[in-house]
C-alpha cells in the first residue's frame, strides 16, 4: 500500500497531509495548503489549530500563522467540507 493510500485511511490528517491528498504536484500542494489554511482560518473547516508565533516562523507562512504539520483536521470534516464544494478526494 503506497503512502497516499495509507493517508486516505487515517481518521485525522495534518493540513499538510490533507493537502497531499488534494494535490498532484509541488505547486498544487502549496496551493492546497493555502486553501485549507484559509478555510480553517475562516471557520469553514473545523480543525485542531496550532499557530506559529511570528518570531518562530519557519518556511513559507500560511494564513493565520497556521502550522501545517501540527494543525489537524478530522477526515470526516475534510470530506464534509469537500462535499459542500461539490468535490471529493481523488481515487
Q: Domain segments of the chain: what residues? A: 3-84
Give the pLDDT of residue 58.
64
Give the pLDDT of residue 48.
97
Stated as kind and residue range, the H or E segment containing 76 is helix 75-84
Give the pLDDT of residue 80.
96
Q: Cα angle vertex 44, ends 13, 29, to 5°?
A: 45
Q: Considering only CA atoms, which of 6, 8, 19, 7 is closest in space to residue 66?
A: 19
Query: 14 pairs with which residues across the strands?
Result: 72
pLDDT by 10s per residue, the chain, length 91: 688 889 999 999 999 999 999 998 988 999 999 999 999 999 999 999 999 876 666 667 788 889 999 999 999 999 999 999 999 985 4
Query: 66 pairs with which residues across the strands?
Result: 51
The predicted model scores a pTM of 0.89
Amino acid at each position: 500500500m503506497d503512502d497516499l493510500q495509507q493517508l486516505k485511511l487515517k481518521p485525522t490528517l495534518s493540513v499538510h497531509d490533507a493537502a497531499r491528498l488534494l494535490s498532484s504536484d509541488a505547486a498544487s500542494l502549496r496551493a492546497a495548503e493555502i486553501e485549507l489554511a484559509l478555510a480553517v482560518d475562516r471557520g469553514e473547516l473545523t480543525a485542531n489549530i496550532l499557530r506559529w508565533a511570528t518570531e518562530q516562523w519557519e518556511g513559507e507562512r500560511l494564513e493565520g500563522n497556521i502550522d501545517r504539520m501540527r494543525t489537524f483536521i478530522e477526515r470526516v470534516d475534510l470530506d464534509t467540507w469537500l462535499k459542500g464544494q461539490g468535490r471529493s478526494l481523488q481515487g
